[in-house]
A and B are shown apart, each in its own frame.
Chain A
Amino acid sequence: ETGVTQTPRHLVMGMTNKKSLKCEQHLGHNAMYWYKQSAKKPLELMFVYNFKEQTENNSVPSRFSPECPNSSHLFLHLHTLQPEDSALYLCASSQTTVNEQFFGPGTRLTVL
């Protein structure tokens, strides 16, 4: 798990707050991903970045705003979230977009 780190590990926020999730990979990979894991639902891909360019937005609401300043860092900016956005948010990286993905430990988000 130390190859991909995520901060914070736990986050509680109100619906009017603005917060950011951070992901960093130390593996020299070129692709990074955000996933959402809700209870009783399959893991859902949110965004894909390849060489810092966004290549996939899986119909994610605009209250989730990703940012990839370089191949090692990925952020997910959150604003005016809803209680149903409470979930485990997982970051992953891979050497290229056709290789296996390495996941971080996740950020457990609770929206009040």
Chain B
Amino acid sequence: SQQGEEDPQALSIQEGENATMNCSYKTSINNLQWYRQNSGRGLVHLILIRSNEREKHSGRLRVTLDTSKKSSSLLITASRAADTASYFCATDSGSYGKLTFGQGTILTVHP
């Protein structure tokens, strides 16, 4: 069964608003990663958060990790139309290099 599951499946917001996407997983992890994919193209790595970390920031991105609840969230602040993409969480559970991806959240930011 898949490890990461994103919620919501789709999110539609206006430019300037914040977007929050959630990811839940089932087993213990070494780290959790967030990726972005523009339509039909390769994935771009956004942030990696290790199991002993609780929060990380990168520009307008903020990722939290709650290992007790086996969940993570990705917050994009002050969204832009260019943020429109699919966002995936992926978990690394220790089988070196074996990332397990969720179904993704489709984010649409309207100008």
Q: Do A and B bind each other?
A: yes
* CB of B30 within 8 Å of the partner chain: yes
- Note all chain A residues with C-beta closer than 8 A to B102: 42
Q: Which residues of A contact B88 (CB under 8 A)?
A: 43
- Per the bound structure, the CA–CA distance linking A109 and B31 in Å amounts to 31
**Which B-chain residue is minimally distant from A58 (CB atoms)?**
B98
Separation of A110 and B102 alpha carbons in the complex (Å): 24
Q: What residue in chain B is nearest A91 (Cβ atoms)?
A: B42
Q: Is the CB of B96 within 8 A of A105?
A: no
B25 at the interface (CB under 8 A from A): no
Q: Is the CB of A1 within 8 A of B103?
A: no
Q: Let me know if A4 and B97 touch, CB within 8 A.
A: no
User: Among the listed B4, B33, B98, which residue makes an inter-chain contact with A100, where contact means beta carbons less than 8 Å apart?
Assistant: B33
Is B48 an interface position by the 8 A CB rule?
Answer: yes
Closest chain B residue to A45, Cβ basis? B98
A90 lies within 8 A of B43 (CB):
yes
Residues of chain B within 8 A of A92, CB atoms compared: 43
